[in-house]
Amino acid sequence: MFVEEHALRRRPVPPWHHTDSAVVRQHSRNRSSRTTHRVRPPQPPAAVLVDAHWWPVNPQRARSPVIVDDEEGHLIYKNGDNLADRYQIIQTLGEGTFGKVVSAKCLKNRDEIAAVKIIKNVEKYREAARLEINALEKLNAKDPESKNLCVRMIDNFEFGGHVCIGFELLGLSVFDFLKENNYQPYTVDQVRHISYQLCYAVRFLHRNKLTHTDLKPENILFVKSEYDTQYNQKKKRAYKMIKDTEVRLIDFGSATFDDEHHSTVVSTRHYRAPEVILELGWAQPCDVWSIGCIIFELYLGITLFQTHDNREHLAMMERILGSIPYKMARRSKTKYFYHSKLDWDQSSSAGRYVRENCKPLKRYMSSEEEDHRLLFDLISQLLKYEPTQRMTMEEALDHQFFYKLPAHQRLHDKEERSHSLSR
């Protein structure tokens, strides 16, 4: 589900930002959740970690709590509590506007640890969860072995007004790993593999008439997040190097089929396509734009469009990508244009900020080497203003930037070979 406009994430400031304006304009996402229940006394551990597996201290006495919610609709629980006699909660993994995610031991198969998404006891979130389950069921039916790199749903049920969805347990998101690594960018080879997998997963969605609508680094999870540590002599700092760049795409809470109602606004702000901002309608190409923004962020460790205002967002696009096409401006019923040109005061403080802190796309390249040039050619093809001019995912997978991938990672080549053998 996309983050609401007031729920903003903290982003690193690019090294070329002016300090004063960067401090004023730095934004953060409020991840806190106030509750009205009293603080409970410390509880004994519900499970212990042995040989990388969580084992309950006393599985025969796993607690089945009275179902109580906090004022925001989150389920109140403790480690060791049961969920509908299906799962025993180990610990909280994360929290979002939709609810919380916990790791949990399957009570039917004690060797299985799952990630269970516990949706808030609020009707709009329950409805979104049901839509997500519907999308996941259809995707699972098309791809029961998860060969297309979308997260695998293993269970869903209701518990005291909370829709709960069980998933395979994965590692950190590419954003969380980046954040914990002091926003040290991924290497070009890592960007290559992560980006390829993202395009491959989204191609599967688009082939099945589904638009994800909320692609962002938080929704791309490493299968495993083990890492090595390397020391950067130049920066005098140690950095983490992810060992395995295999990823899965998650969060289908806003995914929309072609024949379903299309909301006017979709996507988290930083990854929102121009046709969405201009209210011109959207389809699968809005995912393509988001992917362009994500690849840039993996490469540099910073967000391409660091803003929270529509007009400023459009001004940044023009500074980085050139003028918004006359036809798009003319068709838009929004009030951001005057005589089909962006109504933007370059001499204002916001105008100076955009001018001083944004630059043409190719000038963000950190090297003139061929790999970097090809990477930015791919990004530029994904960030075309006109949705019809953007690359499709089929075309993206065949882009020259991905030629250096090892044969075992070029998944669409394997498909073509298997099809030819079956003829």
Detail the residues annotated as belonging to a binding site: 117
Q: Which residues are annotated as a binding site for ATP?
A: 117
Return the ∠ at Cα 422 (arms to 420 and 423), rounded to 5°: 70
Q: Which residues of 82-110 are buried (b: 16+ CB within 10 A; e: fewer)?
A: bbeebbbbbeebeebbbbbbbbbbbbeee
Clarify whether 214 is annotated catalytic: yes
Instruction: State which amino acid sits at residue 307.
Output: T
Rounded distance, CA 109 to CA 104, Å? 11
Q: Which helix (H) or strand (E) covers residue 289, if one does?
A: helix 285-300
Is-contact 15 364, C-beta < 8 A?
Answer: no
| Half-sphere exposure at residue 355, Cβ-oriented, CA atoms within 13 angstroms | 9
Token pair for 271 = 């990854």
Rounded distance, CA 397 to CA 38, Å? 53
Q: Which helix (H) or strand (E) covers residue 168, if one does?
A: strand 162-168
Indicate which residue of 69, 111, 143, 214 is catalytic: 214
Token pair for 385 = 């203003």
Q: Name which of 354, 284, 370, 344 is nearest 321 in CA terms.
A: 354
Is-contact 354 315, C-beta < 8 A?
Answer: yes
Rounded distance, CA 258 to CA 226, Å? 38
- How many Cβ atoms from other residues are within 10 Å of residue 16's Cβ? 12
- The residues assigned a catalytic role are 214
